[in-house]
Amino acid sequence: MSYGPSYPVETVASVYWIRSRVKAMRLTILGSGSSKGISRVGHRDALCVDARKKGSKSRRRRSSALVEQAGRRILIDVSPDFLSQMKRARVSRLDAVLLTHAHADATGGLSDLGKWIRLRRHDPVTLYAHPDTIRRLRRSFPKSIIPIPVRPFRMITIAGMNIRFIPVRHGMRGIATYGFRFGRRLFFASDMDATSPAGIKIIHGTPTIILDGAFWEYKRLRGHFSVPDTLEFAKTIRPRRLIITQSGHSFPPHNLAEAEIRRLAKQKSCPFPVKLAYDGMKIEI
């Protein structure tokens, strides 16, 4: 009598079943730049000159991202470049909006979002953010946006995606700021210079992390990571890959910056690949 093959066959079948239930997710970087974007009017430095070349990855709109799964779409941050970002990504419908924090580079497009919703006769859009972010912005919400306050560390299912709201530090004066963890797969934090041990515990081991790296070189307590900080922080998280976003004016042109980041990651013995985000970058998750 043999008890042999039944166990391995079932294991293979259940692995297949689990895989088939994991829906593909995609994140598109709509803006990879810091608060003023690149290029800047009247500048003749190497970065801004490169950014004006057609198709240049050095051209950076204000930070924003689109997360899609099973035909549903969540926008992270409504930047002052919102209309051009929607046009460029050919987005005509949104299921929800998440805000990282209340600074103008993350929220300056709220009235444009209101107009965009009206023009399309789009249903009102729910917007999720920290209670403090909603309080600060209470006069900026058009009627077509329904703000929903979310307490730190809560997990909510939005447009079919399980999203955990992780508080992160963005400057010592402490404006309430979130990073977002999607399922167990992705952590996105475009504005941060630290997080709490509780936050690190949750995001530890997340395979794909997209992090603030606004400053090219180390700057103490400026509200954002510098590239060396981002690499050091990512090492504590142990991801499978790191993508750096929110790149500021202190960066060299994109291709040079990416090569230099790879060199630095090697020097720091980062055991994961590192990429530099650019506008329009698509990340399959």
- Give me the least distance between CB of 111 and Zn ion, in Å please: 19
- With CA atoms as reference, report the closest residue to 95 among 64, 69, 114: 69
Q: In terms of CB distance, is 45 or 123 closer to Zn ion?
A: 45
- Give me the least distance between CB of 253 and Zn ion, in Å please: 11
DSSP states along 40-87 = -TT--SHHHHHHTSTT-TT-BPBSEEEEEETTEEEEE---TTHHHHHH
C-alpha 141/C-alpha 113 separation (Å) is: 9
Q: In terms of CB distance, is 10 or 45 closer to Zn ion?
A: 45
Residue of this chain nearest to Zn ion (CB atom): 43
- Give me the least distance between CB of 31 and Zn ion, in Å please: 13
- Give me the least distance between CB of 106 and Zn ion, in Å please: 6
C-alpha 242/C-alpha 244 separation (Å) is: 7
C-alpha 76/C-alpha 188 separation (Å) is: 9
Task: Give the binding site for Zn ion (CB under 5 A).
Answer: 40, 43, 45, 48, 103, 191
Token pair, residue 223, equals 């509200």
Q: In terms of CB distance, is 28 or 177 closer to Zn ion?
A: 177
Question: Alpha-carbon Rg of the chain, whole angstroms?
Answer: 20
Q: In terms of CB distance, is 74 or 99 closer to Zn ion?
A: 99
